[in-house]
Structure 1
Amino acid sequence: MTLLALGVNHKTAAVALREKMSFLPDSFEQAFHHLIQTTLVKSGVFLSTCNRTEFYLSAQNQSGLEKKLIQWLCEYCHLKPEELIKSLYWYYDDQAVEHLMRVASGLDSLILGEPQILGQIKKAFTQSQPHQIMCRDLKRLFQKSFSVAKRVRTETDIGVHAVSFAFAACSLARQIFESLSEVTVLLIGAGETIELMARHLFKHKVKRLIIANRTFEKALCLGNDFGADVIRFEEIPSRLYEADITMSSTASQLPVIDKNMIKQALKKRRNQPMLFIDIAVPRDIEPEVGHVPNVYLYNIDDLQSIIERHLSHRKRAVFKAESIIKEESLNFISWVRSQSSSEMIREYRSKADQIRIALTEKALAAIKKGDNLEKTLYALTHKLTNQLIHAPTSSLKKAALDGDIERFKFLHESLEHSGLLHFKKQATKKRHPN
């Protein structure tokens, strides 16, 4: 059985190609049935996110597999081979194991160490199971990868420090204010970054959340998700004083908050400190605001330096994370090999037992017919010996004829270690004494 990981991601393919290769959960069953009908694949897991589409598959063998998979992908995703081949990556067996563990641990993500990918892989694994009988090795690989990802996050700092603007902004707020449960935060805008900020603040139990946006309906929709108060954009100057922290990210070409607004807000607050985090480009808050007493202003460049510093912490954690993955992948590969050898041994023993039973029954039948007991027993053991050693001795002979010295030595040593050669010499001495 061959394990295979193939796919495209943000490093190998542009978004236009990733869009064409995305798989919706509803289309998984149809896609998988199409796959097993046209290739040697027996079971698989499809992972489809905005940054990657990957297929983790088990197949009977590698012969012609890549060609068939490329053909299937081109047909199913309506692609030309030349636009797909240059972006595809392939990992087999040991490398496939390491790759999945790296992906699950966030080491292969656009944002190093991001935790969302693990949840996405778990979801893909769960969605795959009802549609197929998943092979033991592939199922065990995913379960092992989940525990490895947990170990990496527990034993390293790969996910400790903020590496997104939204998370960095919220981390900065938590550094300045002892507890977010005692503060009011005003969010200006309603885009993806503001939504992430709202999510982080909600998670940390902010006392009160206010959202303002030019499109009131969009702010209202976001506010409903997080239990926030929603105000109209033109209300910002008169309501600014209510916020201990203001975070802004709009597409405005002109400043949304100026120095005069801040001074008016401070008067109403009796000069209680105010924190402003501006991650808009162009900037939403006039730079001069930072010179006003009791006002702390941070812009996107300030957050970038925080992110870069935190990213360097994560990069230092990569070495330890990689060593954990290497250790765990070797353990998994050893388990796979031990299972395979155990199955092979069971199969070999079963075959040998079938031969023994067949020859024994034949010998018993001959004895019942009146054949000489001693001759029958000698014939039985002679036939049993010939059948059991036919395959290894034929392989030994072929290795000698082919000039394959390494294989010949290996087979010879295997026979020697089995005791067959040693036992034969002893038996010969006893039967033909000097």
Structure 2
Amino acid sequence: MSITVLGVNHKSASVALREKIAFSNEIIDKALYSLYQHPLITGCVILSTCNRTEIYLSYEDEADFFRVKQSVENWLGQFHHVDLDVFNNSLYCYEGQKAVEHLMSVACGIDSLIIGESQILGQVKQAYNFAQQNNCLSVQLEKLFQSIFHVAKIVRTETNIGANTASVAYAACLVARDLFSDASELSVMLVGAGETIELISRYLKHHGFKNVIVANRTRDKALKLASIIDAEIISLPDIANRLKEVDIVISSTASPLPIIGKGMVERTLHERNNNPMLFIDLAVPRDVESEISQLENVYLYTVDDLQQTVQNNLEQRIIAANEAEYIIHEQAELYVDWLKTRHAVEYVKQYRQNAQVIKRELELKALKAIKQGANIDDVFFEFSHKLTNKLIHAPTQTLLEAATHECDDCFKILSKGLGLKEL
């Protein structure tokens, strides 16, 4: 039995390539059903995010690795109607313990674009749930994913991999949360509607910020943000009139000139009775004039201020990732050891069944002899004698065969298994 992962990620393929073989939630059921029909595959899980598409497989015979790999590559190309020749240097494939360690690293955020990010674990769980709902999980994959979730919990608990801010957007939200006591009572203005502001809006929602205004040049682009955090939408010219209503301003636009100037902020402070304001300017060039930092009760953070925090924390996460790798290696070995024993389970069952058959046959003969008037002591002695001989026959022959073929390792394992002392 073996486990294999086949896929691409942000390190091996560009976004232009990754999007060619991505699986949306709308087609994942169809994809799992189609892949599971392969005669060699006993289980499959598909993980597809903006940074990776990976397929996890279980199959019975390790010798089938290359056949499985080739078949799944062909299936991937046919399913997405893509010539996989363009992926020659992008697709990776891992087998056995390396595949297990890779998936554990993915779930723990070590293989992510931002080390230690926590979102990927939820995506791995979603991929597992999709496979479970479609009855595509083998015993091996079921056990593997339970091990993965266990490892992720250990890594989060025993290392600092997720303890520190690792993105500018998240750092901005933490600064806002730390500077003010009650997030739910604060008002926030988001200036812009790009990717960074969208990410910030999600963080704001997570941290309990409820009163949000989105200011953007076009209304249509701001609608998506408004739906995420139930925000009010205003135009950029309206900022001057509405600034007095907010405590925090987070800005990230592509404007070539500042949108918020010192004079505008001075007037706003007067209208707010000099209550504190926080400005977080993530734009390059800057959206907020740097001179506002000279004003009393105004706190201004630029992208450089936050980037230094992010860099320091990333270094801490790298240290934590190294610690996590030891945990992952140890847990992967435990899983692989379990996997190795799976092929022996059927043999163990067969051995026990054979013993039961022998015992039952001799029991019936003994009961028949007793019913025919044989001496019970004689019957019991014959039963125990024959049962012992039949049960030890196969192990004895195997011991002799191992000794005859000078297989010392086999002989030692058999001897230990039979409880024999070394002579």
Structures share a fold, TM > 0.5?
yes
Distance 1:224 1:360, change over 3 A: closer
Q: 1:178 aligns with which of 170, 177, 181?
A: 181
Which 10-residue stretch deviates more, 284-293 or 1-10? 284-293
* Deviation string, structure 1 residues 77-96 (Cα, Å, up to 9, x no partner): 33434333422222222222
Q: Which residue of 2 aligns with 1:18?
A: 18
SS in 2 for 1:69: helix
Q: Which residue of 2 aligns with 1:323?
A: 326
Is it true that 1:86 corresponds to 2:58 in the alignment?
no
Is it true that 1:282 corresponds to 2:285 in the alignment?
yes
- Aligned-residue offset at 1:278: 0.8
Q: Which amino acid aligns with 2:61?
A: N
Give the whole-Å Cα distance in 1 for the aligned partners of 2:286 and 2:236. Answer: 17
- Aligned-residue offset at 1:355: 6.9
TM alignment of 1:80-159, pairs within 5 A: 80-132=83-135, 134-159=137-162
Is it true that 1:30 corresponds to 2:30 in the alignment?
yes
Which 10-residue stretch deviates more, 28-37 or 356-365? 356-365
Which 10-residue stretch deviates more, 294-303 or 73-82? 73-82
Q: Which residue of 2 aligns with 1:369?
A: none
SS in 2 for 1:283: coil
Question: Relative contact order (C-alpha < 8 Å, sep 6+): which is higher?
Answer: 2
User: Do 2:161 and 2:317's aligned partners in 1 also have CA atoms closer than 8 Å?
Assistant: yes
- Aligned-residue offset at 1:49: 0.6
- Aligned-residue offset at 1:221: 4.9
Q: 2:315 aligns with which of 308, 312, 316?
A: 312
Q: Which residue of 2 aligns with 1:411?
A: 410
The alignment's TM-score, normalised by the length of structure 2, stands at 0.83
Give the whole-Å Cα distance in 1 for the aligned partners of 2:389 and 2:149. Answer: 54
Q: 1:195 aligns with which of 187, 198, 203?
A: 198
Distance 1:344 1:291, change over 3 A: same
TM alignment of 1:206-355, pairs within 5 A: 206=209, 208-351=211-354, 353-354=356-357
Structure 2: gaps (5+ residues): 369-381
Please provide the CA RMSD for this pair. Answer: 3.5
- Aligned-residue offset at 1:219: 3.1
Distance 1:49 1:418, change over 3 A: closer
- Aligned-residue offset at 1:240: 1.7
Give the whole-Å Cα distance in 2 for the aligned partners of 1:224 and 1:149. Answer: 32
* Deviation string, structure 1 residues 252-275 (Cα, Å, up to 9, x no partner): 222211222122222223333322
- Aligned-residue offset at 1:360: 9.7
Q: What is the number of residues matched between the two proteins?
A: 409
User: Do 2:214 and 2:226's aligned partners in 1 also have CA atoms closer than 8 Å?
Assistant: yes
User: Do 2:7 and 2:55's aligned partners in 1 also have CA atoms closer than 8 Å?
Assistant: yes
SS in 2 for 1:25: coil
User: Do 2:201 and 2:228's aligned partners in 1 also have CA atoms closer than 8 Å?
Assistant: no
- Aligned-residue offset at 1:9: 0.7
Q: Which amino acid aligns with 2:172?
A: A
Give the whole-Å Cα distance in 1 for the aligned partners of 2:23 and 2:207. Answer: 34
Give the whole-Å Cα distance in 1 for the aligned partners of 2:350 and 2:17. Answer: 46
- Aligned-residue offset at 1:147: 2.3
SS in 1 for 2:4: strand
* Deviation string, structure 1 residues 360-384 (Cα, Å, up to 9, x no partner): 999999xxxxxxxxxx999999998
Give the whole-Å Cα distance in 2 for the aligned partners of 1:380 and 1:144. Answer: 42
- Aligned-residue offset at 1:356: 7.4
- Structure of greater Rg: 1
Q: 1:160 aligns with which of 163, 169, 173?
A: 163
Q: Which residue of 1 aligns with 2:43?
A: 43
Q: Percent identity?
A: 44
Q: Which amino acid aligns with 1:21?
A: I
Q: Which residue of 2 aligns with 1:52?
A: 52
The alignment's TM-score, normalised by the length of structure 1, stands at 0.81
- Aligned-residue offset at 1:144: 2.0
Distance 1:38 1:182, change over 3 A: closer
Give the whole-Å Cα distance in 1 for the aligned partners of 2:75 and 2:284. Answer: 44
Give the whole-Å Cα distance in 2 for the aligned partners of 1:144 and 1:417. Answer: 30
Give the whole-Å Cα distance in 1 for the aligned partners of 2:228 and 2:8. Answer: 34
* Deviation string, structure 1 residues 60-112 (Cα, Å, up to 9, x no partner): 12333222222222332334343334222222222222222211111111111
Distance 1:262 1:416, change over 3 A: closer
Distance 1:391 1:319, change over 3 A: same
Give the whole-Å Cα distance in 1 for the aligned partners of 2:117 and 2:9. Answer: 15
- Aligned-residue offset at 1:24: 2.4
